[in-house]
Amino acid sequence: MIESPQEAIVFEPLATEDPDSTITKDPEQAAARPAYITSSFRQTGKLLRALGGGGRFRGLWVYFVNGMIVQWIANMLIFIPFVPRGVATVVGAVIMALLPLTWTHIVISEPSPRYWFRRIPSLKMWRKVAVPTAVLAVAQQISALVPLKLAIIAGLTKDARYTAQLSPHDQTLLALEGFGIAALAIVLSFVFVLPASVTLTRVQASLLPDTEETIVPFDRSFGGKVIPEIVGGSGVLSMLDAWKSFDWSSRLRLIKAYVKVYVLTFVTTMVFILCLVVEMFLIAGRDWAAVLPGKGDKDL
């Protein structure tokens, strides 16, 4: 989300009339561009392992702490009348906006000897990330709650015994509804969550202290759109500029990464489901519904 094409350019020497110059004049070599590190999971993994300091698990503690505190705040807020769970979660995420900011800085920068809680930015940074944090939290709630409500309406949340008692035709319809709702959830994630996540991450990255070095090529000024506070600017990238400066090559690279994750998740899920089905048939034969959990003594 932050690897910059502007910085991923090799040195191009100026033209020279000196016949004895050793500077290359090969246009193909001059036009060579290094590949993006983040274009490959393998290359990204190698980079993280080479960094040390926890490698790909850097920032794990602050990630878990943020998740627990946000859920704790949400659990407290839902006791207030007329406060839905989704709203409470959004409020909790906004209140703790500095922790995701810290997590992003830890992930994109070189390892530091300081503990993660010592890298939490000052409170004045909160107002700079509060709005994009809220936008992402709302997008996440929409992409989660809409498919969930549809699943409840379609009857997908009922127990497996109910599904087993349906006719083959109804089971087929239920399965198609499930795939449709799953597809809708993916579409909502790409339409709402992905742009909001990119925007927030780039806004957070623009607040990385100058003393921190990034682990991938990164244009801190975002093409001159970040004006330091010392010269009268805001010192942070705006949400609109955060998305507009994310060029299409980077968008496609990110979408490919998400597609790979979805495919790996789907394949892994199918393998576990296959193992479960085989196990059920080995235990109960064709009467596999008998081993499903029931409700009450009547199902014993």
Residue 205, pLDDT score: 94
Q: CB burial class (10 A; 0-12, 13-18, 19+) of residue 97?
A: buried
Rounded Cα distance, 27 and 163, in Å: 66
Q: What is the mean pLDDT of each run of 10 residues along the chain (300 residues)?
A: 63 52 49 72 87 80 95 94 92 96 94 89 94 96 92 78 73 84 91 95 93 88 83 86 90 91 92 87 67 52
The phi, psi pair for 173, rounded to 5°, reads -65, -40
CB pairs under 8 A, 24+ apart, for 119-127? 121/207, 123/98, 125/98, 125/101, 125/207, 126/97, 126/98
Rounded Cα distance, 238 and 244, in Å: 10
Q: Give one DSSP letter per residue of 5-72, joined into a string.
A: TTTS----PPP---TT--S---HHHHT--PPPGGG-HHHHHHHHHHH-TTGGGTTHHHHHHHHHHHHH
Calculate ∠ Cα 78-79-83, nearest 5°.
Answer: 45
Residue 8, pLDDT score: 41
For residue 199, which of 147, 236, 253 has the smallest C-alpha distance?
A: 236
Residue 5, pLDDT score: 62
Pair of tokens at residue 259: 């597609």
Task: Return the beta strands (E) in 166-297 as ranges.
Answer: none
Under 8 Å between Cβ of 42 and 16: no
Strand partners, 214: 109
Task: From residue 182, give the alpha-carbon distance in Å to each of 137, 163, 164, 278.
Answer: 20, 18, 21, 24
Rounded Cα distance, 73 and 203, in Å: 24
Calculate helix-pair angle for 60-77, 85-95, nearest 10 degrees.
Answer: 130
Pair of tokens at residue 276: 């479960």
